């Protein structure tokens, strides 16, 4: 069920991420669209300004044509009537202005074939008109009505064409203005459209985010709730465990303790029995001397062999049982001892342990070394001493015959843990037994050494109590390395 | 022990076997004082305080006390014997038990126990300890209870 919910949550998260991404992209797209249309409108506006300017220039030139024509006329009239004393010098200037204006118009409207044609026409007519004017001002001064009419018509035509050009230019301007108006309107429309869309996107984003935030708040509250419950559950379990552990300790103590009482009886009365055998044997011997017929072979065997043998077996068994019970008692007592962490100098402790076994070590010619790189740690002194001395004692005990013993204690600090290693070159432990050797009363290999199978169980119990672990690496016949992994800074046991 | 009146040895021990072994070894040490054996606290207390031939009415006594009894803890008996105003509070009490718990030992001495002996599991040691206790009993002075 939890997995399904997690799956749902993951899907919701992915959907949220996708939606937000989509909305952001959409928003950017819209803003970009608005920007592009604004740019387009601006460019169009500039273009329009140039065009308007162009139209005005064309207009000025067209107006120039009319003005020049007017001047030419008045110059000719003045000259003919003799009103002017410039002997006709102002006419050529006016004619030059006329052609200049025509050239100007032609130059400005180079891209417009209609205007070009108009300009060409006007130029042609202006040339003819110019000739007519000049003839009328010539030395002959011939004046005919016909020429007069011809001049007037031609001048009218020139003016008309000029007017046409002007009209054309104005029409073009109006056309362009209209198209510009259209594009501006389109821009506004686009702007309004993107604005609405942006508002929608923003609303959508806010909605999605709000919904997601709401979900987050809810799930966070749930998480907090779960967390609190978890802590409570852990505390509860810890108390349960502690209680169970105490129960086991008490149980072990009571059992071992109460088992001792009957054992005292068994051993005591066995001893009494043994003591009673001696007078019985004396009796049998005495009777045997006086009247052998009274003593059957059965009696002799019973007193001489069966009884001592039975007593002997009872004795060895009870002694063994006694040792086992004592071991359990010792372990349970050890488990009830309070652990007091303190700053420890492992090097000094290791040397102390080896000195404590110095007698055996020297006797067997074992070379025991302690690394001078042993780290410091905070832990229980007695427990560490017992762990080390048990392991070193084992190393001394299980040497490989015919090979001079070597024992090395080393250690290092790693990620807040201290790794203590006790390596030997002894007879080793079969990998099959690597777990078993740490169990109570279990031993490995040839049973040629005294012991109950308690040492390593004790060491492991101690390591556990100090918040650590113990492991062994070994091969049969090739020595063993025990590694004790302990917290470098043991804060003490949790008191429940 | 006191010459004029024989000192009664009151043994409160629930284990018959232990009682027998203790008695045997005390006898082997040459102690011939009468030994009264009780297997539970109630009958032991009744004898100590009420019986006409008990120590209150009938001369000095020495108590051998086991702590693990079926009906009550030996320390309860010890408390009653050593209580203020108890006629037996001067009677020597030897706690003879299997418990070697430090706290328990301290508690017994606090309550006024005179000697605390842990029964050795090994029989040789056990026999030796009891015999030594017998030798010890033969030389200690037990106060007369009437002279309160």
**Does B146 fall in a domain?**
no
Contact flag B15-A265 (C-beta cutoff 8 Å): yes
Same domain, yes or no: A156 and A103: yes
A41 and A154 housed in the same domain: yes
**How high is the pLDDT of residue B3?**
46
pLDDT at res. B147: 46
- Mean pLDDT confidence for B106-135: 85
**Res. A88 pLDDT band, cuts 50 70 90:** low
Pair A409, A465 in one domain: yes
Total domain count, chain B: 1
Q: What is the CATH number of the domain that holds B100?
A: 3.40.50.2300
A160 and A282 share one domain: no
Q: Are A468 and A365 in the same domain?
A: yes
Q: Is the pTM of this model over 0.80?
A: no
Domain that holds residue A83: 2-216
Q: Do A143 and A19 share a structural domain?
A: yes
Task: Provide, as residue numbers in chain B, all residues whose Cβ is less than 8 Å from the Cβ of A260.
Answer: 98, 119, 121
Residues A315 and A374 in one domain: no
pLDDT in tens, A345-368: 899 999 999 998 888 888 888 888
> Does residue B49 sit within a domain?
yes
What's the gap in Å between the CA of A262 and the closest CA on chain B? 8
Q: What percent of chain A has a predicted confidence (pLDDT) above 70? A: 95
Could you tell me if residue B144 is inside a domain? no
Domain assignment of residue B2, yes or no? no
Q: Which residues of A284-323 are buried (b: 16+ CB within 10 A; e: fewer)?
A: beeeeeeeeeebeeeebeebeeebeeebeebbeebeebbe
Residue A423 has pLDDT above 90, yes or no: yes
Q: What is the mean pLDDT of chain A?
A: 84
Most A CBs within 10 Å: which of B25, B28, B121, B130, as the mutation test of the A interface? Answer: B121
> Is residue A207 located within the same domain as residue A85?
yes
Pairing of strands A417-424, A480-487: antiparallel
Domain stops at, among A314, A334, A354: A334
Whether A233 is in a domain gets the answer: no
Residue B145 lies in a domain: no
Instruction: Say yes or no to pLDDT of A424 above 50.
Output: yes
Tell me if A66 is assigned to some domain.
yes
Which residue of chain A is at minimal alpha-carbon distance from B22?
A: A268
Mean pLDDT across the stretch B41-46? 89
Residue A97 has phi, psi (to 5 degrees) of: -60, -40
Q: How confident is the model at residue A455 (pLDDT cuts 50, 70, 90)?
A: confident
Same structural domain for residues A320 and A344? no
Query: Which residues are CB-neighbours of A376 under 8 A, at least 6 positions away?
Result: A343, A344, A345, A346
Task: Look up the ipTM and state it.
Answer: 0.72
Q: Does A326 touch chain B (CB under 8 A)?
A: yes
Rounded Cα gap, residues A162 and B51, in angstroms: 161
* pLDDT confidence band for A197 (50 / 70 / 90): confident
In this structure, the answer to whether residues A108 and A189 fall within a common structural domain is yes
The count of structural domains within chain A is 3
Q: Contact A261/B124, CB-based, under 8 Å?
A: no
Q: Which of B18, B122, B127 sits opposite A265 (nearest CB)?
A: B18
The mean pLDDT value for A238-257 works out to: 80
How far out from the chain centre does Cα A299 lie? Answer: 89
Q: Is residue A429 part of a domain?
A: yes
Of A258, A268, A326, the CB nearest to B123: A268
- Confidence at A141, pLDDT banded by 50, 70, 90: low
Q: Which of A109-113, A412-416, A434-438 has the lowest mean pLDDT?
A: A109-113
Final residue before a domain boundary, out of A163, A194, A216: A216
Q: Which domain holds residue B106?
A: 8-139
Looking at residue A420, its pLDDT comes to: 92
A381-391 pLDDT, tens digit per residue, is: 989 999 999 99
Same domain? A281 vs A367: no
pLDDT band at A217 (very low <50, low <70, confident <90, very high): very high
pLDDT at position A142 is: 56
């Amino acid at each position: 069920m939890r997995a399904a919910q997690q799956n749902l949550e993951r899907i919701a998260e992915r959907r949220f991420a996708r939606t937000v991404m989509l909305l952001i992209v959409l928003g950017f797209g819209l803003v970009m669209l608005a920007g592009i249309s604004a740019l387009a409108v601006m460019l169009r506006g500039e273009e329009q300004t140039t065009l308007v300017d162009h139209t005005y220039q064309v207009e000025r030139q067209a107006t120039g044509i009319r003005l020049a024509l007017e001047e030419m006329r008045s110059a000719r009239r003045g000259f003919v009537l003799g009103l002017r004393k410039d002997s006709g010098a102002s006419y050529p200037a006016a004619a030059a202005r006329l052609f200049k204006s025509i050239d100007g118009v032609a130059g400005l409207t180079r891209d417009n074939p209609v205007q070009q044609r108009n300009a060409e026409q006007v130029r042609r007519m202006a040339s003819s008109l110019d000739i007519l004017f000049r003839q009328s001002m010539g030395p002959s001064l011939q004046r005919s009505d016909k020429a007069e009419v011809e001049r007037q018509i031609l001048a009218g035509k020139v003016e008309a064409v000029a007017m046409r050009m002007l009209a054309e230019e104005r029409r073009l301007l109006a056309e362009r203005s209209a198209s510009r108006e259209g594009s501006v309107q389109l821009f506004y429309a686009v702007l309004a459209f993107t604005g609405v869309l942006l508002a929608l996107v923003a609303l959508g984003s806010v909605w999605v985010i709000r919904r997601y935030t709401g979900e987050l708040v809810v799930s966070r509250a749930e998480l907090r709730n779960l967390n609190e419950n978890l802590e409570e559950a852990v505390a509860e379990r810890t108390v349960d465990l502690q209680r169970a552990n105490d129960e086991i300790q008490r149980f072990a103590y009571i059992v071992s303790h109460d088992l001792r009482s009957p054992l005292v009886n068994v051993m005591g009365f066995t001893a009494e029995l043994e003591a009673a055998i001696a007078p019985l044997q004396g009796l049998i011997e005495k009777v045997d001397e006086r009247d052998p017929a009274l003593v059957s072979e059965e009696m002799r065997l019973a007193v001489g062999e069966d009884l001592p043998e039975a007593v002997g077996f009872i004795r060895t068994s009870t002694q063994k049982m006694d040792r086992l019970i004592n071991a359990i008692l010792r372990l349970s007592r050890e488990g009830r001892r309070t652990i007091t962490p303190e700053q420890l100098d492992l090097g000094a402790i290791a040397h102390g342990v080896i000195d404590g076994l110095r007698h055996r070590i020297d006797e067997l010619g074992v070379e025991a070394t302690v690394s001078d790189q042993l780290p410091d740690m905070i832990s229980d002194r007695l427990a560490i001493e017992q762990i080390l001395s048990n392991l070193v004692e084992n190393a001394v005990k299980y040497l490989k015959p015919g090979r001079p013993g070597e024992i090395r204690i080393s250690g290092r600090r790693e990620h807040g843990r201290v790794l203590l290693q006790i390596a030997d070159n002894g007879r080793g432990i079969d990998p099959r037994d690597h777990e078993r050797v740490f169990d109570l009363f279990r031993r490995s290999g040839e049973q040629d050494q005294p012991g109950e199978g308690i040492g390593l169980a004790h060491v492991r119990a101690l390591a556990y109590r100090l918040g650590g672990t113990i492991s062994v690496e070994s091969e049969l016949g090739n020595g063993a390395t025990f590694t004790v992994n302990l917290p470098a800074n043991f804060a003490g046991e949790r008191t429940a | 022990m006191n010459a004029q009146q024989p000192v009664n040895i009151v043994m409160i021990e629930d284990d018959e076997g232990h009682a027998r072994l203790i008695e045997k070894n005390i006898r082997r040490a040459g102690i011939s004082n009468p030994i009264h054996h009780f297997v539970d606290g109630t009958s032991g207390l009744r004898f100590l305080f009420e019986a006409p031939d008990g120590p209150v009415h009938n001369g000095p006594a020495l108590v051998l006390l086991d702590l693990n009894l079926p009906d009550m803890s030996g320390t309860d008996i010890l408390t009653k014997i050593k209580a203020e105003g108890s006629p037996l509070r001067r009677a020597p009490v030897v706690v003879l038990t299997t418990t070697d718990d430090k706290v328990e030992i301290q508690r017994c001495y606090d309550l006024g126990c005179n000697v605390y002996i842990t029964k050795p599991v090994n029989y040789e040691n056990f026999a030796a300890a009891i015999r030594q206790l017998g030798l010890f009993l033969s030389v200690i002075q037990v106060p007369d209870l009437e002279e309160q």
